[in-house]
Structure 1
Amino acid sequence: MYTEQVFRRNNEVGGSIEVICGSMFSGKTEELIRRVNRARIAKVKVEIFSPVTDTRYDKSAVVSHNLNSIPSTPVDKASALLKISDQTQVVGIDEAQFFDADLPQVCTSLANSGVRVIVAGLDMDFKGRPFGTMPEIMALAESVTKLHAVCVKCGSPALHSYRLVPDESQILLGEKESYEPRCRHCFNLDGDIL
């Protein structure tokens, strides 16, 4: 498992990419907030980003389902992350699956410049398919932490975000009224078997 370190933007210590992934309600944002707060305790300069399209809780903060929050900057495209301060040592990215196709290269560029990049997002969409650029970012990362929710049907570890409403678009912002966590078995009972 990854041991947290403070990465500096210089040649002494290299940057890295860490991914926190899983289904909805698995604690991804909570873990992102925890890691960022640890960096802040260490007096490391941190910047947090979220997609401008995700307005479920707060436009200028990353907020977990437990309502823990941390200030963030909403951006409309991944390239905006490259405009960070020269002093920034850690970049947190929430809801990465909603960013454009440039996010893997942006994460790589930041890591190559010595920044510790922490990316949180859904690894699969509501149909159980890889979501957005998350698979590519996971392949580029030094560490991947896959979190699981609890299946609301049977209590097993849940890796799927089961959609409760009849909408076939890949992106549908919602919470408990629109989604519930399910294990593989319970997901396939009512969902599309892949």
Structure 2
Amino acid sequence: MVFNEDVFKRKSELGGSIEVVCGSMFSGKTEELIRRLNRARIARLKVEIFSPKADTRYLENALVSHDANSIPSTPVENASSILLLASDVNVVGIDEAQFFDAELPDVCNVLANKGVRVIVAGLDMDFKGQPFGPMPQIMAMADSVSKLQAVCVRCGNPAMYSYRLVPDDTRILLGEKESYEPRCRICYLNSAS
């Protein structure tokens, strides 16, 4: 396969894009992000990957999916740091976008307008079923949105909610299967009442 610089240059001049991968916990968002980023690397594109420094569940310098697939990433304190670190790249991946500050939509837009393909993954709703962080704004300005579903652990139907198992009302509570489980609308509502 020959890399044709003229084709890439022409595509960059036309503008980048914003892709969103969202859904509940355990729906495969990070797995899909890693898949798309690996395909970009196979295409010999320069890729940079960012995650919020506050997400300390796995490795500090890697995105790790629930299936234990991983890819190197750079943890950052805030969204504006991404602009400083994403120079001369073709593709930017951003994981756990719901944990970023309100500047993330502007950062995504600036990168896309410079011809960068931006792939954002994150929870679209918090454990209360409410829109989460900057995700709604990013989804509204995205070129494409892929909403993934998990499997409801109660009934086996498609799940779009992240049900919190522990009695803690704070909005952000880092956790895995000990703290959350995916539920369909009916099982989520029956448990919440």
**Same fold flag (TM > 0.5):** yes
C-alpha separation in 1, matches of 2:99 and 2:121: 11
Structure 1 segment 95-110 matched on structure 2, within 5 A: 95-110=96-111
Higher helix content, 1 or 2:
2
| Contact 1:19/1:138 (8 A) holds in 2 | yes
Instruction: Give the TM-score, by structure 2 length.
Output: 0.93
Q: Are 2:185 and 1:190 aligned?
A: no
Tell me the matched-pair count. Answer: 187
The amino acid that maps onto 2:81 is: A
| Contact 1:62/1:70 (8 A) holds in 2 | yes
| Contact 1:9/1:89 (8 A) holds in 2 | no
Aligned to 1:65: 66
TM-superposed CA distance for 1:53, in Å, is 0.3
TM-superposed CA distance for 1:68, in Å, is 0.2
C-alpha separation in 2, matches of 1:127 and 1:76: 26
TM-superposed CA distance for 1:86, in Å, is 3.5
Unaligned ranges ≥5, structure 2: 1-6
| Contact 2:86/2:92 (8 A) holds in 1 | no
Deviations 1:4-38 (A, max 9, x none): xx966975331000000000000000000000000
C-alpha separation in 2, matches of 1:32 and 1:23: 14
C-alpha separation in 2, matches of 1:50 and 1:67: 16
Aligned to 1:52: 53
C-alpha separation in 2, matches of 1:108 and 1:185: 36
C-alpha separation in 2, matches of 1:12 and 1:168: 47
| Contact 1:9/1:113 (8 A) holds in 2 | no
C-alpha separation in 2, matches of 1:178 and 1:121: 17
State the secondary structure of the residue aligned to 1:12. Answer: helix
| Contact 1:30/1:68 (8 A) holds in 2 | yes
The amino acid that maps onto 1:131 is: F
Percent identity between matched residues is 72
TM-superposed CA distance for 1:84, in Å, is 3.1
Aligned to 2:17: 16
Unaligned ranges ≥5, structure 1: 1-5
C-alpha separation in 1, matches of 2:26 and 2:8: 29
Deviations 1:151-176 (A, max 9, x none): 00000000000000000000000000
The amino acid that maps onto 2:66 is: H
Structure 1 segment 29-44 matched on structure 2, within 5 A: 29-44=30-45
Instruction: Give the TM-score, by structure 1 length.
Output: 0.93
